[in-house]
């Protein structure tokens, strides 16, 4: 309150106007208090007008009561979805928020609509494909080049250089290559007498000769049939046979006669003589040694030597001169012929020289 005047008891009486006197100075007009403007607030699409509250004045124009300004009414907030906070199933973990079923359906509809919209197709760039092809080609060239250099290196170690012409190149008869190949195929007079030909029987026997001693082991005579191998028998009572695995002979056959060689399986025996003497038993997958019943002796001798060794492209030729000498007890059989025998070897895919032929030519 102002000047101790109680607003509730104040009475305002009309002032009677007096006649103006000559010496009275005119009073200045009282300033009118500023009227607050009408405030507008928009809520829910409509304008709500709030009337201003007027202050009270005394007869002298002084404010005797200033009312509190009325705050504009706030628009009510839109309703929010009710979210319940369930009790967490695991202590210490936050509870999961539950959403009303209507809102779930709305969210699901929005998700389905987004999923149905076709995704833009990505354009495939051909650059990565070209890079992969280029890298593969470079890798293949490097691999082939390295493999070729390795092959040439191995051939140089054997004193063999492969060319594409048909030139006949002489080889040292005492070189490691020539001697190694020749020792694999040279035969004794007894072996020539039993079988002078290079057939499957002789090929199995020559491969058998390449087996190492550690490939043989003590065995037994089970399933040995003396009717399938002439002049041999097997009895566990008085004989302990040796044996070796079928796979060992197959390996030596491929190494000696080529990876693609097709040689018939059979016993290791030359002719009907006691040479070799291993019966093939397929049920055991083994070659089992037999005991010779009668060993025939011969009195023929032979002299063999290398007279020439040469190569043409990837083939090596070793020419052997053979001379049979008769003993005191008979003539030389017609199957044993003096002359020149040429052993031919061809470089195989595994860089072994495969024995491919043996040809005869008379010397005179």
Same domain, 177 and 318: yes
Nearest to 49 by CA among 57, 37, 41: 41
Which distant-in-sequence residues (6+ apart) come within 8 Å of 348 by Cβ?
258, 259, 354
Q: Please, which pLDDT band fits residue 252 given cuts at 50, 70 and 90?
A: very high
Same domain, 155 and 170: yes
Same domain, 181 and 303: yes
Contact 189, 167 (CB under 8 A): no
Q: Which DSSP string do the residues of 257-274 spell out, in sequence order?
A: H-TT-------EESTTSS
Edge-first strand order for the sheet with 268-269 is 217-218, 242-245, 286-289, 276-281, 268-269
320 found inside a domain: yes
The tokens for 169 are: 């190149």
For the chain, the domain total comes to 2
Q: Please, which pLDDT band fits residue 22 given cuts at 50, 70 and 90?
A: very low
Residue with more model confidence, 128 or 204: 204
Same domain, 216 and 291: yes
Please say which residue of 236, 265, 296 terminates a domain.
296
Q: Please, which pLDDT band fits residue 108 given cuts at 50, 70 and 90?
A: confident
Q: Up-side HSE of residue 284: CA atoms within 13 Å toward CB? A: 16
222 found inside a domain: yes
Same domain, 355 and 288: no
Beta partners for residue 123, in sequence order: none
308 found inside a domain: yes
> Which pLDDT score is estimated for 62?
72
**Residue 200 confidence (pLDDT) above 90:** yes
> Which pLDDT score is estimated for 107?
74
Same domain, 180 and 318: yes
**Residue 135 confidence (pLDDT) above 80:** yes
Residue with more model confidence, 144 or 148: 144
Same domain, 337 and 260: no
The DSSP H or E segment spanning 280 is: strand 276-281
Domain span at residue 266 reads: 197-296
**Residue 283 confidence (pLDDT) above 70:** yes
Same domain, 211 and 259: yes
According to DSSP H, which parts of 158-199 are helical? 176-185, 189-194
Distance of CA 141 to the CA centre of its chain: 20
Q: Which of 66-80, 124-138, 208-222 has the lowest mean pLDDT?
A: 66-80
Q: Which of 96-110, 134-148, 151-165, 222-236 has the lowest mean pLDDT?
A: 151-165
125 found inside a domain: no
Q: Please, which pLDDT band fits residue 361 given cuts at 50, 70 and 90?
A: very high
Q: Please, which pLDDT band fits residue 162 given cuts at 50, 70 and 90?
A: low
Give CA separation, 278 vs 18, 53, 104, 185, 220, in Å. Answer: 165, 133, 87, 20, 13
Kindly report the pTM of this predicted structure: 0.58
**Residue 293 confidence (pLDDT) above 90:** yes
> Which pLDDT score is estimated for 75?
61
- Across the range 290-304, mean pLDDT stands at 91
Encode 89-117: b = buried (16+ Cβ within 10 Å), e = exposed: eeeeeeeeeeeeeeeeeeeeeeeeeeeee
Please say which residue of 279, 296, 313 terminates a domain.
296
Contact 193, 298 (CB under 8 A): yes
75 found inside a domain: no
> Which pLDDT score is estimated for 41?
42
> Which pLDDT score is estimated for 130?
74
Spatial separation of the C-alpha atoms in residues 230 and 129, rounded to whole Å: 68
Map residue 311 onto helix, strand or coil: strand
Please say which residue of 242, 263, 296 terminates a domain.
296
Q: At what angle are helices 176-185 and 200-209 packed, to 10 degrees? A: 120
Percentage of the chain modeled with pLDDT above 70: 63
What are the contacts of 237-242 at 24+ separation with CB within 8 A? 239/291, 241/288, 241/289, 241/290, 241/291, 242/216, 242/217, 242/218, 242/288, 242/289
131 found inside a domain: no
**Residue 19 confidence (pLDDT) above 70:** no
Residue with more model confidence, 104 or 147: 104
Residue with more model confidence, 18 or 334: 334
Same domain, 288 and 222: yes
Same domain, 244 and 272: yes
Contact 95, 87 (CB under 8 A): yes
Residue with more model confidence, 111 or 306: 306
- Across the range 130-136, mean pLDDT stands at 82
According to DSSP H, which parts of 217-350 are helical? 246-257
> Which pLDDT score is estimated for 44?
42
> Which pLDDT score is estimated for 297?
84
72 found inside a domain: no
**Residue 1 confidence (pLDDT) above 50:** no
- Across the range 306-329, mean pLDDT stands at 93
117 found inside a domain: no
**Residue 9 confidence (pLDDT) above 50:** no
Spatial separation of the C-alpha atoms in residues 23 and 20, rounded to whole Å: 9
> Which pLDDT score is estimated for 88?
53
> Which pLDDT score is estimated for 52?
57
Same domain, 163 and 309: yes
Helices and strands, counts by H and E, the chain: 6, 16
Spatial separation of the C-alpha atoms in residues 215 and 208, rounded to whole Å: 11
Same domain, 171 and 225: no
Which pLDDT tens digit goes with each residue over 39-66? Answer: 444 444 445 455 555 777 777 777 676 6
> Which pLDDT score is estimated for 343?
98
**Residue 11 confidence (pLDDT) above 90:** no
């Amino acid at each position: 309150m102002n000047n101790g005047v109680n607003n509730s008891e104040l009475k305002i009486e009309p002032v009677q106007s007096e006649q103006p006197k000559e010496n009275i100075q005119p009073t200045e007009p009282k300033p009118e208090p500023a009227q607050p403007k009408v405030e507008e607030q928009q809520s829910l699409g409509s304008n709500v007008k709030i009337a201003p509250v007027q202050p009270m004045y005394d007869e002298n124009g002084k404010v005797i009561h200033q009312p509190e300004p009325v705050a504009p009414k706030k628009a009510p907030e839109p309703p929010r979805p009710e979210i319940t906070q369930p009790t967490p199933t695991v202590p210490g973990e936050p509870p999961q928020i539950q959403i009303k079923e209507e809102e779930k359906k709305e969210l699901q509809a929005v998700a389905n609509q987004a999923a149905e919209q076709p995704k833009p197709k990505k354009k495939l760039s051909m650059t990565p494909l070209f890079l992969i092809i280029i890298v593969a080609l470079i890798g293949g060239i490097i691999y082939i080049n390295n493999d070729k250099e390795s092959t040439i290196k191995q051939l140089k170690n054997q004193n063999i250089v492969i060319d594409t012409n048909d030139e006949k190149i002489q080889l040292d008869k005492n070189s490691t290559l020539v001697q190694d190949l020749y020792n694999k195929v040279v035969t004794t007079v007894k072996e020539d007498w039993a079988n002078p030909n290079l057939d499957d029987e002789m090929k199995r026997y020559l491969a058998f000769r390449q087996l190492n001693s550690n490939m043989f082991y003590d065995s037994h005579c089970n399933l040995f049939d003396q009717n399938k191998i002439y002049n041999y028998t097997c009895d566990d009572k008085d004989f302990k046979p040796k044996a070796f695995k079928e796979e060992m002979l197959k390996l030596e056959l491929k190494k000696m006669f080529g990876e693609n060689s097709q040689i018939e399986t059979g016993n290791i025996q030359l002719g009907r003589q006691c040479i070799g003497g291993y019966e093939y038993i397929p049920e055991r997958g083994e070659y089992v040694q037999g005991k010779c019943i009668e060993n025939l002796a011969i009195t023929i001798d032979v002299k063999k030597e290398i007279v020439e060794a040469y190569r043409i492209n990837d083939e090596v030729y070793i020419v052997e001169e053979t001379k049979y000498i008769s003993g005191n007890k008979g003539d030389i059989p017609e199957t044993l012929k003096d002359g020149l025998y040429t052993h031919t070897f061809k470089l195989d895919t595994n860089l072994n020289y495969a024995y491919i032929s043996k040809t005869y030519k008379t010397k005179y």
